[in-house]
Structure 1
Amino acid sequence: MVSVMGGGEAADSPQKTSISTSSSIDTLLGLLRIRVKRGINLAVRDVRSSDPYVVVRMGKQKLKTRVINKDINPEWNEDLTLSVSDPNHPVSLTVFDHDTFSPDDPMGDAEFRITQFLEAVSMQLDGVPDGTIITKVQPCRANCLAEESCIVWTDGQVLQDMCLRLKNVECGELEIQLQWIQLPGSKSA
């Protein structure tokens, strides 16, 4: 597994990429960029607050955001990029409270699948007006959506904004955005 910090990005939007060395370009469908925007009303795990960070996993890949100190409504605005070889692997996000002298405390988790997103990516959308809603994903037990999520054609790309309700915790939500990056020579999504 290789982790790379992307260069040339704005200072408020660091970028981390995980490319599994075991997957060859023949099986690679493309890259999934997950912008971890912010946490909302996260659980308190220290005396009055928490020091949250997010771990994103897909298959054997694992990336994490930076720690935001003493904030239950943190704004990360970080891009985490995963290589996608098997679109059936769910994406899981876990929020932790960073502790210096003890193990980090879990602050909830969420999971979602990218199959509907990849279906939208594979459509021929050239000529579609900017801002067109391609499809809507409704909250259900199979996903952790807190509200309806729209997959939208914007600036020549497919984007999906999601608000995920955290499980296994008393409160908290995460706002993220998905973006697909097609690689030259990779299989179609």
Structure 2
Amino acid sequence: MENLIGLLRIRVKRGVNLAVRDVRSSDPYVVVRMGRQRLKTRVIKKDVNPEWNEDLTLSVTDPSRPITITVYDHDTFSKDDKMGEAEFEIRPFIEAVNMRLDGLPSGTVVRRLYPGRQNCLADESCITYSEGKVVQDLVLRLRNVECGEVEIQLEWIRVPSTSRSI
């Protein structure tokens, strides 16, 4: 097994204005991929603005590997339809995790990332030091689809045996 750096908890909060893939709505779920890891949320029936509020945890061995989020529409009798995807980098987040932040007031913004051609951000994303943890809220604009965004939050979980910095 590759060297585990730590765990990344991804809270898949909600989808906003997702594409309609059934008659009037969709039955969306999210698949999160990083390397060979693949995790998925539960299906939410007939909702283009679903609230998952579900935590998925990835093992991080290579911080330069991007994470892909793909939204699908669950179909009972046919192949699930793709409802767009987004990709994001975790290196800026991990760099913030490795900064000496002890003593900073809770709620301090450590770094801001802005939407651009090189990313799927729909809005400014802040990496924040909050109650002893580093968290990042992201609103990702889905690609290869007519509309839709997914809101997620990242949180780093240190693994005791991996005290080395990244």
**TM bin (shorter chain):** over 0.9
Which residues of 2 match residues 72-151 of structure 1 at below 5 A?
72-151=48-127
Provide the residue aligned with 2:157 in structure 1: 181
Q: Structure 1: state its 5+ residue gaps.
A: 1-21
Q: Structure 2: state its 5+ residue gaps.
A: none
User: TM-score normalized by structure 1?
Assistant: 0.86
Structure 2 distance, partners of 1:140, 1:181, is: 28
Provide the residue aligned with 1:12 in structure 2: none
Deviation at 1:185, TM superposition (A): 1.2
Q: Per the alignment, in what secondary structure is the counterpart of residue 93 of structure 2?
A: helix
User: TM-score normalized by structure 2?
Assistant: 0.98
* Match among 157, 162, 168 for residue 144 of structure 2: 168
AA paired with 1:65?
T
Structure 1 distance, partners of 2:16, 2:74, is: 17
Provide the residue aligned with 1:7 in structure 2: none
Structure 1 distance, partners of 2:157, 2:118, is: 25
Structure 2 distance, partners of 1:61, 1:49, is: 29
Deviation at 1:130, TM superposition (A): 0.6
* Equivalences, count: 165
* Match among 30, 37, 61 for residue 37 of structure 2: 61
Deviation by residue 1:29-85 (Cα, 9 ceiling, x = unmatched): 000000000000000000000000000000100000000000000000000000000
Provide the residue aligned with 1:8 in structure 2: none
AA paired with 2:70?
T
Provide the residue aligned with 1:156 in structure 2: 132
Deviation at 1:140, TM superposition (A): 1.1
Structure 2 distance, partners of 1:121, 1:164, is: 21
- CA RMSD of the aligned region, Å? 0.7
Deviation at 1:95, TM superposition (A): 0.1
Structure 2 distance, partners of 1:56, 1:188, is: 25
AA paired with 1:122?
N
Deviation at 1:188, TM superposition (A): 2.4
Q: Per the alignment, in what secondary structure is the counterpart of residue 134 of structure 1?
A: strand
Provide the residue aligned with 1:14 in structure 2: none
Structure 2 distance, partners of 1:84, 1:109, is: 21
Q: Per the alignment, in what secondary structure is the counterpart of residue 21 of structure 2?
A: coil
